[in-house]
Amino acid sequence: MSTSEDNENKSLVDMFDGNIDLIVQRARHNEQMMTRFQTYEVELLNAETLRSLVEVVLVNGKRHFGLDTITMVLLDPDAELKRLLTMEGLALRKFPNLMFTRSLDVFEPLCLSEQPQLGVYEADRHARLFPQYPRIPASVAILPLVRFGRLVGSINFGSNQKDRYTPQLATDFLEHLGRIFAICIESTQNHSKLIRTALTDNLTSVHNRRFFDQRLGEEVNRAQRRCEPLSCLFMDIDFFKKVNDTYGHSVGDFVLADVAARITPQLRQCDVLARYGGEEFVALLPHTREGLATEVAERVRNTICETPIQLPDGRRLEITMSVGVASLMDDNNCTYSGEMLLKTADAALYQAKDTGRNKVVYFEQSQIMQDVV
């Protein structure tokens, strides 16, 4: 065999070996990708609440797939998803990459197709999907979320690599992932609705005592871990028994619903309002110290007493409210339990009622420790 033939055969062998190495590398990459996807899929399917699903999608998804950016847009015409997530304690301000829209028409890329859309980032088409980022992605993958033929949102992947998402790439994997996302969102939303029904007071549409007791422990633990203040308002409608005795229980129910509707706008989304029993309401105010909590309590008291309640029969009923305030501060995080926080606010409420009603009273922990512990 000639030298040229030997060289040619050697080149063919080297080329074959190189192709084998490339095939093995791709196979290993695909295997790793499939393992990451299966792990991620299990995490998505195991998410029981809407809050946990959002965290899995936006936090774990970025890590699993090595994304530079990931955002989610959800159709929420009645702000129900926002309410459910707030009820579950998700701090929406910490998730600027979670967006809600009343109509998907404003998001042009979502309306072009129900198939994943891959390509370079185009500001006029994608800017709404990737807000508040110091560096815009170079390439994007838009995964429409579709249930029963209806578009309900999108999950949006962004990469700083221009060639990571191109129109030539196969989209089977992304299509499957989009379907999993959509199913999980619907499932957790329904689950959260059931929980909300069980934890909501039917008369006033605010949370019930069961929900409050659960959140009280969670918020106290969070405040202790992060060394943050937490305040509690204990509110009671003055002379409510007289309202029932004079006008009947149907009017009393109307008053309770009206009072709850007046209190709600005075609180933030992260605050927790509940009907504690009878004519009593309680509110937890995270990240709130004594001074601001007392201001909020005064706003609540004023909104109740300044404007008479217009009854269905046209009569006007003037009512007042007493409020007790207590705060969990940094210096007593280690010893101040949720039970003690509530008991302190309750004692302050009784002080307000015993000294004339229609007022706000603040109690420090030391006062209640001496009086009722």
**List 43, 219, 279, 318, catalytic entry:** 279
Edge-first strand order for the sheet with 321-328 is 272-277, 280-286, 230-237, 321-328, 360-362
CB-facing half-sphere around the CA of 298: CA atoms within 13 A? 7
Alpha-carbon span 126 to 157, nearest angstrom: 11
User: Is 178:145 a contact under the CB 8 Å cutoff?
Assistant: yes
Of the candidates 369, 275, 289, which has an alpha carbon nearest to the alpha carbon of residue 326?
289
User: Is 145:151 a contact under the CB 8 Å cutoff?
Assistant: yes
Per the annotation, the verdict on 298 as an active-site residue is no
Alpha-carbon span 94 to 71, nearest angstrom: 13
Alpha-carbon span 224 to 218, nearest angstrom: 10
Alpha-carbon span 336 to 342, nearest angstrom: 10
Compute how many other C-beta atoms are within 10 angstroms of the C-beta atom of residue 79. 11
Which two three-digit tokens encode residue 124?
């006029």
Compute how many other C-beta atoms are within 10 angstroms of the C-beta atom of residue 372. 11
Supply angle C-alpha 153, 157, 162, rounded to 5. Answer: 140
User: Is 36:29 a contact under the CB 8 Å cutoff?
Assistant: no
Which two three-digit tokens encode residue 230?
């937490």
* Enclosing H/E stretch for 119: strand 117-120
Which two three-digit tokens encode residue 347?
């004692």
Alpha-carbon span 215 to 210, nearest angstrom: 9
At 204 the three-state DSSP class reads: coil
Q: What residues act catalytically?
A: 279
